[in-house]
């Protein structure tokens, strides 16, 4: 049986007592109360205001008693406190929200102050993202893209099997779910001997990713051991790393992605902690050849997180599921990604974001972007009664992610964005 809360949690909810993901909200202008951003956890169809919980003195353990971390409009201070504080917070919150605990259940005034219906709030970016790195960790995505552009015999470069490949992204354009995405303009490949194309991207794509949110960082020059890396990861979010393929392909040699990626990256509002995901851990794919010692993990695990992407065209009410994948397909784990990121002494900081790269599975219906699903526009993809090769103006892209337990789910909610026309 799942844990029971006095807060009603509907069957199939992403946010039962076993989850309690962290985010930052503010009340909508039309609702009562302050519009100041506040940290929260999700429970059913409510957000639990952590600043109100702290003000009531309910965080009384050794790490959180007297702390101002939940008085901040962002979660970075809490992230920096590390796993002992995270575990203490989780234990306290599960206790005060449980069905047999009266402290909130039976205190009408305090309960109304702490619990706010989701319909009355808007979610904002929960962290200051100092740096954002995007990895390339799915073997299926790497093989498909390599085959597409270099042929099957040269699909995956030898170094890909030795280290988690990545590039440094643009943190300033990471936005919260629900933010519109303006179609980017830029240069595309020339046709024949003509000059390069310039204008709105003709190959706008989504990328089904997740991202790790860094907790405590490391000092400059001091790498993080791969077997301790999980203590430096607070949790995971859904992430859509929007991509303008024509701009990307023309610019990427020799230094990699730039304007084809930096115009927008969308993340989901709720950070699901590794503690909540732990029951859904599973063996990660076998790595051949064996990684070098600094990447060799004693516990080599991923998480069984079912992922879906839907597209809703403009003026249509129906969503069309276009792909179903799973986080467990990643070849390089998030702990290996973090350890590799720091092996040269690079210092990570609380709130840094580490994207997984596109998460594709082995089946045709599990490919994580339109580039793969349409094989670079050589095929068409059915979207309801319509078809797509790449995204069109007005398309809304919706990601969902959920771990399915026997009696409960641990989910991420949604990560959405709608494509708007390019600026004139």
For the segment 408-422, what is each residue's pLDDT rounded down to a tens digit?
999 999 999 999 999
- Predicted pLDDT at 197: 96
Residue 386: in which H helix or E strand, if any? strand 386-388
Find all residues with CB under 8 Å of 112, minimum gap 6, and list them.
Answer: none
- In this prediction, residue 63 has a pLDDT band, given cuts at 50, 70 and 90, of very high
pLDDT at 34: 63
- Hey, what are 158's tokens? 């030898």
Mean pLDDT of 302-306: 98
Residue 193: pLDDT band (50, 70, 90) is confident
Instruction: State residue 33's pLDDT score.
Output: 59
Q: Which two tokens stand for residue 418?
A: 């709608």
> Mean pLDDT throughout 195-209?
97
Other Cβ atoms within 10 Å of 385 Cβ, number = 9
Say what the pLDDT of residue 2 is. 81
Confidence of residue 103 (pLDDT cuts 50, 70, 90): very high
Q: Are the CB atoms for 81 and 39 separated by under 8 Å?
A: no
CB within 8 Å of 172: residues ≥ 6 apart: none
Q: Residue count of the chain, please give it.
A: 424
How far apart (Å, rounded) are the C-alpha atoms in residues 225 and 256? Answer: 28
Burial 114-130 (b: 16+ CB within 10 A, else e): bbbebeebbbebbbebe
The rounded Cα 138 to chain-centroid distance in angstroms is 15
Please report, for residues 14, 272, 359, 373, the alpha-carbon distance to residue 323 in angstroms, rounded to integers and kept in the order given. Answer: 20, 22, 11, 8
Please enumerate, by residue number, every residue annotated as part of a binding site for substrate: 136, 150, 248, 358
Question: Which of 167, 186, 160, 196 shows the shortest CA–CA distance to 248?
Answer: 186
Mean pLDDT over each residue of the chain, to the nearest integer: 97
* Model confidence pLDDT, tens digit, residues 12-53: 999 999 999 999 999 997 555 567 999 999 999 999 999 999
Binding residues for Ca(2+): 134, 207, 209, 241
Known binding-site residue numbers: 134, 136, 150, 207, 209, 241, 248, 261, 265, 358
Active site residues: 141
For residue 29, the model assigns a pLDDT of: 75
- Angle 285-291-297 (CA atoms, 0-180°, nearest 5)? 70
CB 418 within 8 A of CB 242: no
Burial class of residue 34 in the structure, from the number of CB atoms within 10 Å of its CB (0-12 exposed, 13-18 middle, 19+ buried) = exposed
């Amino acid at each position: 049986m799942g844990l029971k809360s006095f807060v009603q949690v509907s069957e199939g909810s992403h946010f039962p007592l076993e989850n309690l993901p962290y985010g930052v909200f503010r009340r909508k202008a039309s609702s009562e109360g302050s519009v100041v951003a506040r940290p929260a956890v999700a429970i059913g169809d409510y957000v639990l205001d952590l600043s109100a919980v702290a003000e009531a003195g309910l965080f009384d353990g050794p790490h959180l008693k007297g702390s101002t971390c939940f008085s901040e409009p962002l979660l970075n201070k809490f992230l920096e406190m590390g796993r002992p504080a995270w575990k203490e917070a989780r234990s306290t919150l599960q206790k005060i929200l449980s069905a047999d605990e009266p402290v909130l259940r039976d205190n009408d005034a305090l309960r109304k102050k702490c619990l706010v219906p989701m319909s009355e709030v808007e979610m904002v970016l929960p962290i200051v993202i100092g740096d954002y790195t995007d990895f390339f960790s799915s073997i299926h995505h790497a093989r498909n893209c390599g085959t597409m552009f270099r042929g099957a015999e040269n699909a995956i470069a030898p170094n890909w099997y030795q280290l988690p490949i990545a590039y440094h992204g643009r943190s300033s354009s990471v936005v919260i779910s629900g933010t519109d995405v303006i179609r980017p303009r830029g240069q595309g490949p020339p046709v024949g001997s003509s000059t390069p194309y310039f204008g709105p991207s003709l190959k706008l794509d989504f990328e089904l990713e997740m991202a790790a949110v860094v907790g405590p960082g490391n000092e400059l020059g001091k790498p993080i051991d791969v077997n301790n890396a999980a203590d430096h990861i607070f949790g995971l979010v859904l992430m859509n790393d929007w991509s303008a393929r024509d701009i990307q392909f023309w610019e990427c040699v020799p230094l990699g992605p730039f304007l084809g990626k930096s115009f927008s990256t969308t993340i989901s509002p709720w950070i699901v902690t590794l503690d909540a995901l732990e029951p859904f851990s599973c063996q990660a794919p076998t790595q051949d050849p064996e990684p070098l010692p600094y990447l060799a993990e004693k516990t080599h695990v991923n998480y069984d997180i079912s992922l879906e992407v839907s597209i809703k065209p403009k003026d249509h009410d129906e969503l069309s599921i276009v792909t179903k994948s799973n986080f467990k397909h990643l070849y390089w784990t998030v702990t290996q990604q973090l350890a590799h990121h720091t092996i040269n002494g690079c210092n990570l900081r609380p709130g840094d974001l580490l994207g997984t790269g596109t998460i594709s599975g082995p089946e045709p219906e599990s490919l994580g972007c339109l580039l793969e699903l349409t094989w670079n526009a050589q095929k068409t993809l059915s979207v309801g009664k319509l078809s797509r090769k790449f995204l069109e103006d007005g398309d809304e892209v919706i990601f969902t992610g959920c771990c399915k337990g026997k009696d409960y789910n641990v989910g991420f909610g949604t990560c959405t964005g709608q494509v708007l026309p390019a600026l004139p």
